[in-house]
Amino acid sequence: QKEVEQNSGPLSVPEGAIASLNCTYSDRVSQSFFWYRQYSGKSPELIMSIYSNGDKEDGRFTAQLNKASQYVSLLIRDSQPSDSATYLCAVNKGFQKLVFGTGTRLLVSP
């Protein structure tokens, strides 16, 4: 079992729709969770961090964490073509080390 799992996609949504990205992790003791956006050929950019169960909202982005189910998700409201990218879920495995999922490719069509 991979430490962090994501559906590779692509996830295709029309402009203006809600994109829902999901991630599961295997290590129950993980405490910190992150979503990064990576455009092709570029390095990852931090979008959201979440540390406690529930929802955390920042603009059009909402991160959701359910530690009991070992599940993290990212919702993008009013999706824009510029949101088209690969979204990486990352979990802190201790000593500040991050383990990344393989990423979900999001395509937002105009």
The contact set with another protein (CB under 8 A) reads 32, 34, 36, 42-46, 49, 51, 88, 92, 95-103
Q: Which is nearer to another protein, 9 or 20 (CB)?
A: 9
Q: Which is nearer to another protein, 18 or 46 (CB)?
A: 46
| Nearest-approach distance from CB 53 to another protein, in angstroms | 17
3-state secondary structure of 81: helix
Strands (E) located in 1-110 = 4-5, 11-14, 19-25, 33-38, 45-50, 54-58, 61-66, 71-76, 85-92, 98-100, 104-109
| Nearest-approach distance from CB 30 to another protein, in angstroms | 11
Q: What are phi and psi of 53, to 5 degrees?
A: -60, 145
| Nearest-approach distance from CB 45 to another protein, in angstroms | 7
Q: Which is nearer to another protein, 9 or 17 (CB)?
A: 9
Q: Which of 60, 49, 41 is nearest to 96 (CA)?
A: 49
